[in-house]
Amino acid sequence: MPRPKLNPSDEDRRLVKSLAAYGVPQEHIARRIGIRSVKTLRKHFREELDQGSLDANSNVATTLYKMAKSGQHPIATMFWLKCRAGWRDQPTFSAPTAPPPFIVAKERTESQI
């Protein structure tokens, strides 16, 4: 006997989109809504899976941008510049210590052998 055809409800779609936005793995989302296969989840909820993570990233990026731009959150500003503008920390310069001692050996000439 074949399995019944999946008819996703609006509530299922909202749930999948929310869970995808929170970063829940697709295997867990499938289990939560009663689907055995991640492949089936992707087939019926592709839009919600894509849109959920996109919306979450967009909202967080907007908040981070506002925090960085305000000047009140220097850590957010540095994070933004490192991730988005390619900035990086420069290693601190320390003066070299004295070079290690070395031994100079005089080669023997043929007359000394």
CA dihedral 35, 36, 39, 43 (to 10 degrees): -20
Look at residue 20 and tell me if it is in a domain. yes
Nearest by Cα to 44 from 24, 23, 15, 22: 15
Secondary structure (3-state) at 51: helix
Q: Could you list the residue range(s) of the whole structural domain that residue 71 is in?
A: 10-87
Q: Count the domains in the chain.
A: 1
- Pairwise pLDDT comparison (110 vs 42), residue with the higher score: 42
Closest CA to 63 of 82, 76, 81, 49: 76
pLDDT digits (tens, 9 = 90+) for 28-60: 999 999 999 999 999 999 999 999 989 998 999
Quick: pLDDT tens for 58-101.
999 999 999 999 989 999 988 988 888 888 887 777 777 777 77
Q: What percent of the chain has pLDDT over 90?
A: 55
Q: What is the Cα–Cα distance from 78 to 64, expressed in whole angstroms? A: 11
Residues 94-108: tens digit of each pLDDT: 777 777 777 777 777
Whether residue 99 is contained in a domain is answered as no
2 part of a folded domain: no
φ, ψ of residue 2 in degrees (nearest 5):
-70, 155
CA distance 107 to 65: 68
pLDDT of residue 85: 85
- Residue 48 covered by a domain: yes
Report d(CA 26, CA 47) in Å as an integer: 13
What local confidence, expressed as pLDDT, does residue 113 receive?
A: 65
- Tokens 């908040």 correspond to 63
Q: What angle do CA 24, 29, 32 make, to 5 degrees?
A: 125
Mean pLDDT of 10-32: 96
